[in-house]
Amino acid sequence: MALRSATLNVMTKAARAAAVRLKRDYGEVEQLQVSRKGPADFVTAADERTEKILRNELERARPDYGFLMEEGGIVKGKDPTKRWIIDPIDGTTNFIHGIAHFAMSIALEDNGEIVAGLIFDPINEQMFTAEKGQGAYLNERRLRVSKRESLDVSLFATGIPFLGRGTAADHQRFLVEVNAVMAVSAGIRRFGSAALDLAYVAAGRFEGFWESELQPWDIAAGILLVREAGGIITEIDGGDKMLESGSVIAANSAMHGPLRQILRSAKA
């Protein structure tokens, strides 16, 4: 592995500090106090604790940086050009149901560009990291996207709309998309964490991923991971404003175009 930068050292230290308590909370998931944040959108005491630890660790190391956080919102820093984008638990619903598929996501944004990203699956000890121009890694191993070039052997991932997210028409449109991708691919997976879905694209486990109505903290670190692993990530319509629109399609270079065409045709 390339020598880890001071920035990634800070991010890794923060993630591992937060993971100590998060693993304990996961072990006692049935005793967690869970409140409703919105229809089918849960916030747990573990979310808030994890975010607080991450913020404290990052703030201690980089006191002038701002924050964009899932629970805490926007915190302006003395340095207006840099901010951390944090999701303390991406896959909260999995977490509170005792399903071991969730992750912390930390990204560093510099003048509107993501320059460092970390996605940490603490239960399985999978630390995905990337820095602009330095490649993507899983623990000590360099990552590259899949080399599969045919739809019929390609595996794709997505996120399924749920109660309170999207209209009935949105749900129907999604079913049309899924049917179109199922008809030509080796399969579709829905694991419940957009951050890990993007990390899996970077690792070559999925050939592609698509989803709409995501939040910046869901995808910021994953955007960089996919790009540094040699993949392509855009909005579904081909634009480059994923953090603003929440629309994402990520894939290896061979599958990005075909997957995007299938999704566009399904909406026609």
Catalytic residue IDs: 70, 87, 89-90, 92, 218
DSSP assignment, residue 121? Answer: E
> 178: part of which helix (H) or strand (E)?
helix 168-182
DSSP letter for each residue of 237-257: TS-S-HHHH--EEEE-HHHHH
131: Cα within 13 Å, side-chain hemisphere: 13
User: How much is the CA Rg of the chain, to the nearest whole Å?
Assistant: 18
CA distances from 216 to 1, 155, 206, 230, 241 (A): 28, 25, 21, 21, 10
Whole-angstrom distance, CA of residue 32 vs CA of residue 26: 9
Yes or no: say if 104 and 199 are a contact pair by the CB < 8 Å rule.
Answer: no
Calculate the CA 186 to chain-centre distance.
23
- Alpha-carbon distance of 268 to 264, in angstroms, equals 6
What is the longest distance spanned by two Cα atoms in the chain? 52
| CA atoms of 84 and 139, how far apart (whole Å) | 21
How many residues does the structure list for the chain?
268
